[in-house]
A and B are shown apart, each in its own frame.
Chain A
Amino acid sequence: GESVGLHLPTLSVQEGDNSIINCAYSNSASDYFIWYKQESGKGPQFIIDIRSNMDKRQGQRVTVLLNKTVKHLSLQIAATQPGDSAVYFCAENFDNFGNEKLTFGTGTRLTIIP
């Protein structure tokens, strides 16, 4: 079946450094991609999204890059802070004639080292 996967299950980064989290997706028809942050005991929290007609989108300290040629997403977090420690998921949205569904990857645990 279709799946969204991540290259690295864990990532440790020194506070203040930049981090990059990668994600591979397999459904070339997915039209919308979202990065979520999940802290322990909480639901997914929206970070940033990107539509399939774009290759880059920037937010506050975060940038998402989309490479449709190799079906690859990345999330860059600049100047990491202790509060960035969490599990990060990429998700792909597929719209099948009005039936929209979001498929999640398995997640990467980001740990910020003080």
Chain B
Amino acid sequence: NAGVTQTPKFRVLKTGQSMTLLCAQDMNHEYMYWYRQDPGMGLRLIHYSVGEGTTAKGEVPDGYNVSRLKKQNFLLGLESAAPSQTSVYFCASKETGREANYGYTFGSGTRLTVV
């Protein structure tokens, strides 16, 4: 049981380049989330999905797009990377239902640097 797997773990991009971050979970969770974490700050929600084929904006969605074509995968895309998008990106998934303990499971992060 791998939990939540993020790829790649590290990436350096040049300004204007595009890339896709992949999040995969094997727990059959309905909800998935993308967060970014800047130095000395908490995680901020970029986009999220409450089920296959659905996505919604979080706190800081500008400059990012997402897709959830399969339940187990949640993709985060940067169409034209900017230095302000240098950050550590975390993916999370969640069980539904109030009785679930340890509801949110986080991946280990993708460290992205845009130069």
Contacts and interface: CB of A to CB of B under 8 A. Distances in A.
Interface of A: 1, 4, 32, 34, 41-46, 49, 51, 89, 91, 93, 98-107
Interface stretch (B14-22, B63-71, B72-80, B105-113): B105-113
B23 to A, nearest CB: 12
B50 A104 contact: no
A102 B34 CA distance: 11
A102 B107 contact: no
B68 to A, nearest CB: 14
B101 A104 contact: no
Contacts of A43: 90, 106-109
Nearest to A103: B45
Given A42-B109, A44-B90, A98-B50, A107 B101 contact: no
Interface of B: 31, 33, 35, 40-45, 48, 50, 56, 58-59, 90, 92, 94, 98, 101-104, 106-109
A107 B42 contact: yes
A44 B106 contact: yes
Contacts of A103: 45, 59
Given A34-B104, A43-B106, A98-B50, A106 B94 contact: no
A101 B42 contact: no
Nearest to A95: B98
Given A34-B104, A49-B103, A101 B45 contact: yes
